Structure 1
Amino acid sequence: MELPIPKIVQRLWEAWNFRVFIILSLLLQALLVLAPPFRKRTRSKLLLMFIWLAYLLGDWIATFAIGLISKSQEGACEPKGREDLMAFWASFLLLHLGGPDKITSFSLEDNEFWLRHLMGLIFQVLATAYIFYQSLTDQSKIWIPTTMVFVVGTIKCVERTRALYLASLSRFGYSVLPEPNPGPDFKQAIEIYSSMRTVEMEMQTPEVGANPVYNWKPLEEIQLLEEAYRLFEIFKGLIVGLLLSSKDRELSRDFFLTRTATEAFRLIEYELNFMYEVLHTKVNVVRCPTGYLFRVFSFILILAALVVVSIKERFVFGDNKFDVRLTYALLIGALGLEAISVLMLIFSDRTLLALRRSWRKFIPKIILTRTRWSRSVSKYDMISYCLNNDAPKWMDTLVVYLGVKEILEKVKIWRFSSSGPVSGDLEEFIFEELRMKSRTANNLRAAMDACSQRGDWALLQNSGAIYFKVKWRIVEYQYAESLLLWHLATELCFLQETEIKSEADAKSREICKLLSDYMFYLLVMKPVLMTPVLGNWQIVLQDTCAEAQRFFGRRFKSEKSEACKQILEVKTKFRPIVVKGNKSKSLLFDACRLANDLSGLEISKWKLMSQVWVELMSYAAINCRPNVHAQQPSRGGELLTFIWLLMNHLGLGTQFYEQERQAGTKMVPQK
């Protein structure tokens, strides 16, 4: 039974179907070539989703168009004698399947499916070859340029598949392993060892806390780039869970202790950009002698194909002006996209590193100083989350029935959330806190202890009395509970205090508020970043929100400031668990008690709370899975990932092993 489709629609589809898809494929390739820089520098979910759709549709449309062309050669929708032109277009679609150099994968999962991608490309290459074979007749006029484009398309497909394979975590982990080292021949060594005797030697050990003398002179931008690449080559094994030696830790730690906050964050920015290139681009495939040769070879072949087609234009196209324009658009588009890729290759960070020092003075400063991440964080607060959650019960019931409650909640948070800049003051505060902690971590055990702190170290640094007064808000709760507790207390204190005593307090207040809202946003929108330390945080969150909504429901709906004022007016002399029991996991009035305690401190509560937030944030960063951190540079970057890598460079990570030190004895020949 045929569908009731009008004849005119059928004729239009038969005449224009694959032509429309070819145009769409070319437009998507242009978008994918230009999109990667924005992908690294934006946090806009709409833009990232748009790039993701272009990435998926690019492959799907090219594959579908090849199938349509193959079918058109078997049917009667195209006039006879045009098979060679169809084969020529199909070769361009194969080139599009190879994808641009700067976006081989959208996520790390795409790299893991490299074998599936390989099988798909093999079938597409065979299908295109079959179309080409069918077009080889005595009337073929452009089989030479078709062969040229087909060869270029095959090269592009091989490059993309190899790039996906090299970026897969298993293959990447293998590539970062050191060269095999069997050590000295044991049989010969035992014979020599038996003929020697030991003598005691006086070993000079460095004083605890003493660091080598390093150059404190500020580094130029190109020097920062060089150091970042050196560090990336050493620390890239962190992505796959590789343990680094204590020697690498000490050298990196001593270097970062001599840097400023601006230099440290700039180094991390460069390093994460190198990580992005290795995992999501063709950098490992293109940046080698064979890759450079293929680039030149491909450009020459496409240019030669353009020349041949222009010579035989009248014999190939006849009077069909649209096919002429489409073919030239494909040829010129391929040349243009190839030229853009070459320019991106020339002005990339790795090319700048390869230049001789005498040539670097001609590098425009804007190339080095361009931003390589969004320099912003998303933020949201729990009071707004509770106040904006006023949907009717029938809608909640329908949402639960349809199973889309979590999706709608995230859409609501995304709608009401905002973003804040990562300022120089914020970078300096975070760096100074981590550097202070690094100076006390003189060995791996001390570093492990420092990484396990989630606020209590900050309390101890200020005052022992404050620690014993407030410590129960940290040590008696799981991490996620402690995070929600301090977040609510921060919000209550922020809205309660309207007059700021000093400029330093004002700066600390803004930093504290930003970090608090940022961590809450990560908790509800990106829990994968904190999965290893969360526990039953959903129960605590829903119970706290339920109590807050019930409390607000007794009064008129108001602004956040009025809502917080109402909460703080409740007397909290006794702990809620004593009054209500432990059936509910709500932390609303525990946070009220904490806010009142913090407001009564004699020292600056905002600096203290900011220090606690840095510890809470660093605890989540160092416990997050490394492959999750590796995903973030392709999504605009994440401050939590910066802190993870910065902590490792300061020697505060957990992926280090104690390297064997030389014994205090020496073997000498026996007399």
Structure 2
Amino acid sequence: MSGKFKKQVSRSKLLTCTLVWNCEGNLLRSEGGSHNMPEDTFTKKKNMLKDTCLSFALFKILRLRYAGYSLPPKAHEDAWKLIRDGLLLQEDGYERAFRVVEVELMFLYDFFYTKYGILFESSWLLNKLAELIYVVVGIWATTSLLKHYKRPNSNCRLTNLPNGLSVDVLMTSMMIISFFIVEFMQFFFMFFSEWTKVIWICEYVKNKSWQNKAWIEWIIRVICEVQLLKPWERKLRQYIFLESYFYKPTFFLNNMIMAAYIDQTRYGQKQSSPIKLHKEVKKAVLNALKSIKDTKLKNGRDSLIENDVEQLLWACKLETQTQVILVWHIATSFCEHQKPERLGSPEWTNFLVATNLSKYLAYLVAFAPRLLPDHPYVAEYVFDQAIIEARKFFNGCKTMEKLVTKIEGDSRLAEEKTVIGRGAKLRKQLIDNTYEKSIWKILADFWVELVLYVAPSDDAQAHVEHLTRGGEFVTHLWVLLSHADIKRDHSIG
């Protein structure tokens, strides 16, 4: 790189996460409590302030990855050590890890879809103050002119209201008020954005004099506690193949004319209502992530071997990963009516994890194929073929009882090399007496490993685009795995 493009930065001017963590100010110091709140709550609030700076630092690394730059192995090792031995080591580490990634993705969202990344440069405060001064002066000058405004003699009744106020004065006043509201809302969202919080915390760390002033600490704490709308809804989108295969989109929306304006809905593409992302799901996935020993992820095979059910490995060795997802999803859906009876039991937790992740990965197949390992065209083709097979075989059966009766009454179905046939075969093996007592543990472990296998992706743009639609759970996993440089085992599939 040419020397004229390099910018030398003095180490004394650099502010690192280490300096933030070692800050002795009351706002960030780890030891001690508060007279106004329990020590655990006080420590948690301090960790949230530190984690905001950590999210910003990780965002810069993620931005390099998006631009196509690679990091040295040592950088990934340090990042993985921070995640595994730092964030995930605590009892509620899964919550903290997701919070850090959530804020990191907020920075990424702002970088691509707002102006915050440009506004918060070295002179952002002076520029914003100058802008506000111009607005205030402009409003004052316009208001003064309106007070002395006199319309030329006119007999047109349309230009005057019954109370004598002219229409042009009213419209001008409304435009001024609207302009002021928009400007104020922009300033409000900027002032309480994550970018502003990082700036305040960094200034607090750099200025020793601030660390002894309670009123400055109170201002920073108040600013940092305000949480604005987040791009991620903290929900899992769901899709149930056996309840949607017969869906036929309306002709009003699916035709050649509307195709020029909206994406066409395909047969069977009917999304179920999103559900809340349960803490059990987050905990199960991140516990599995923490226990990863190899940097090459498998597509569920390791979980089957650990549970001593190698007989099911055939369902992980199909032609495409989309087929693997659909076959296991169909089998899981058939087993879902055998739900555990006791709520809160380990078996119920496994049931919750397995069914939620099964429907989520099926949603990715139907609605977000770019986030899957297969090429989007391959995923769409496999999905469409599976819909055709289901519509042909089930022939209008809509209830789960009728669907189960249909597959149990056809002994030859399990021998077919279709998605439906393989799903029926897998379902039969799962409900066999050999696996009956541990069926939901097998499925939960499998789906946890499979969602981690799906998460790594070279298509960073697809993840960024989904941030505008509320974000995806798999994007959060993609971020964690990217920092650790954990990838798929490309010899699979």
> Could you tell me the TM-score, scaled by structure 1's length?
0.56
User: 2:175 — aligned with what?
Assistant: 330
Contact 2:238-2:359 within 8 A present in 1 as well: yes
After TM superposition, the structure 1 = structure 2 runs for residues 4-153 of structure 1, keeping only pairs within 5 Å, are none
Q: Does 1:495 align with 2:337?
A: yes
What is the CA-CA distance between 1:336 and the residue it aligns to? 2.6
Q: Which residue of 1 aligns with 2:162?
A: none
Once the 2 structures are TM-superposed, how far is the Cα of residue 412 of structure 1 from its aligned partner?
7.1
For residue 237 of structure 1, the aligned residue among 64, 67, 74 is 64
* Residue 460 of structure 2 corresponds to residue 460 of structure 1: no
How far apart are 1:496 and its partner, in Å?
Answer: 4.6
Q: What is the aligned partner in structure 1 of residue 265 from structure 2?
A: 409
**2:410 corresponds to 1:570:** yes
1:382 to 237, 241, 262: 241
Secondary structure of 2:237's counterpart equals strand
Of 418, 423, 431, which residue of structure 1 is paired with 2:273? 418
Say if 2:455 is the partner of 1:621: yes
How many angstroms does 1:574 deviate by?
6.1
Is the Cα contact below 8 Å between 1:378 and 1:518 reproduced in 2? yes
- Check 1:408–1:509 CA distance in 2 against 1; reply closer, same or farther (3 A cut): same
Do residues 477 (structure 1) and 332 (structure 2) align? no
Cα distance, 1:339 vs. partner?
2.1
Q: Which residue of structure 1 lines up, in the alignment, with residue 50 of structure 2?
A: 223
Determine helix, strand or coil for the equivalent of 1:622. Answer: coil
Secondary structure in 1 aligned to 2:105? helix
Counterpart of 2:285 (choices 419, 430, 437) is 430
In structure 2, relative to structure 1, the CA distance for the partners of 1:605 and 1:560 (3 Å cut) is: same
| Per-residue deviation, 1:494 | 0.9
Larger Rg: 1 or 2?
Answer: 1
**1:25-67 deviation digits (Å, cap 9, x = unpaired):** xxxxxxxxxxxxxxxxxxxxxxxxxxxxxxxxxxxxxxxxxxx
C-alpha separation between the residues in 2 aligned to 1:423 and 1:373?
A: 15
Write the mapping of 1:242-257 to structure 2, written as runs, cut at 5 A.
242-257=69-84
Take 2:288 and 2:351, find their aligned partners in 1: how far apart are those partners? 16
- Letter of the aligned partner of 2:151 in structure 1? G
- Indicate which of 85, 94, 104 corresponds to 1:261: 94
1:258-657 aligned at under 5 Å gives the runs 258=85, 259=87, 260-313=93-146, 316-318=149-151, 321-355=166-200, 356=204, 358=211, 359-362=216-219, 363-364=221-222, 366-368=225-227, 371=230, 373-389=232-248, 407=263, 409-410=265-266, 413-414=269-270, 416-437=271-292, 440-441=293-294, 447=295, 449-450=296-297, 453-463=298-308, 466-467=309-310, 469-497=311-339, 499=341, 503-530=345-372, 532-533=374-375, 536-553=378-395, 557-571=397-411, 575-577=415-417, 586-600=418-432, 601=435, 604-653=438-487
Aligned in 2, Cα 1:538/1:295: closer, same or farther, shift over 3 Å? closer
C-alpha contact (below 8 Å) 1:410/1:525 kept by paired residues = no
1:642 offset after TM fit, Å? 0.5
Pick closer, same or farther for the CA change 1:565–1:421 going to 2, 3 Å.
Answer: farther
- Relative to structure 1, the CA distance from residue 323 to residue 389 in structure 2 (aligned partners, 3 Å threshold; closer, same or farther) is closer
- Name the % identity: 19
Q: CA deviation at 1:653?
A: 4.2
**What is the alpha-carbon distance in structure 2 between the residues aligned to residue 280 and residue 403 of structure 1?**
27
The alpha-carbon distance between structure 1 residues 353 and 637, as it changes in their structure 2 partners (threshold 3 A), is same
Whether contact under 8 Å (1:489, 1:594) holds in the other structure is yes
SS at match of 1:419: strand
SS at 2:275 equivalent: strand
CA RMSD of aligned residues (A): 3.4
Tell me how far 1:410 sits from its aligned partner: 4.9
Q: Is the 8 A contact 1:257 1:650 kept in 2?
A: no
What is the CA–CA distance in structure 2 between the aligned matches of 1:575 and 1:178, rounded to whole Å?
Answer: 64
What per-residue deviation string (whole Å, max 9, x for no partner) do you get for residues 329-388 of structure 1? Answer: 222322232222222222111222222264344423742597552001211111112233
Query: 1 or 2, which has the higher helix percentage?
Result: 1
CA distance in 2, matches of 1:325, 1:603: 75
Equivalents in 2 of 1:264, 1:229: separation in Å?
A: 14
Per-residue CA deviation, residues 143-187 of structure 1 (Å, 9 max, x unaligned), is: xxxxxxxxxxxxxxxxxxxxxxxxxxxxxxxxxx9869xxxxxxx
Offset, 1:411:
9.2
* Structure 1 Cα separation of the partners of residues 283 and 277 of structure 2: 10
> Structure 1 residues 531, 457: closer, same or farther in 2, change over 3 A?
closer
Distance 1:385 1:232, change over 3 A: same
CA distance in 2, matches of 1:544, 1:569: 20
Is 1:426–1:511's contact at 8 Å kept on the other side of the alignment?
Answer: yes
1:599 is aligned with what amino acid?
I
DSSP 3-state at the match of 1:378? strand
Q: 1: CA distance between counterparts of 2:120 and 2:469?
A: 24
How far apart, in 2, do the equivalents of 1:289 and 1:587 lie? 58
Change (3 A) 1:275 1:283: same
* C-alpha contact (below 8 Å) 2:322/2:374 kept by paired residues: no
Count, aligned residues: 416
Is contact 1:221-1:368 (8 Å) kept?
A: no
The SS at the match of 1:420 is: strand
Amino acid at match of 2:345: E
In structure 2, distance between residues paired with 1:368 and 1:289: 24
Q: Deviations over 1:576-634 (max 9, x none)?
A: 24xxxxxxxx3112111101112221662222222222333233321350111122222
Unaligned runs of 5+ in 1: 1-176, 181-214, 442-446, 578-585, 655-671
Instruction: Determine the C-alpha separation between the residues in 2 that align with 1:623 and 1:344.
Output: 32
TM-score normalised to structure 2 length: 0.75
Q: Structure 1 234/551 Cα, relative in aligned 2: closer, same or farther at 3 Å?
A: closer
Q: 1:593 to 1:178 in 2, by over 3 A?
A: farther
* Partner SS state of residue 135, structure 2: helix
List per-residue Cα deviations over 1:461-480 (Å, max 9, x = no partner): 322xx12x111111233111
Change (3 A) 1:575 1:360: farther
Counterpart of 1:244 in 2: which secondary structure? coil
| Residue 413 of structure 1, CA deviation | 3.6
User: 1:222·1:368 contact (CA, 8 Å) conserved in 2?
Assistant: no
Contact 2:237/2:363, CA 8 A, preserved across alignment: yes
Q: C-alpha displacement at 1:404, in angstroms?
A: 5.5
Amino acid paired to 1:226: C
Secondary structure (helix, strand or coil) at the match of 1:326 reads: helix
Structure 1 CA distance for aligned equivalents of residues 197 and 340 of structure 2: 50
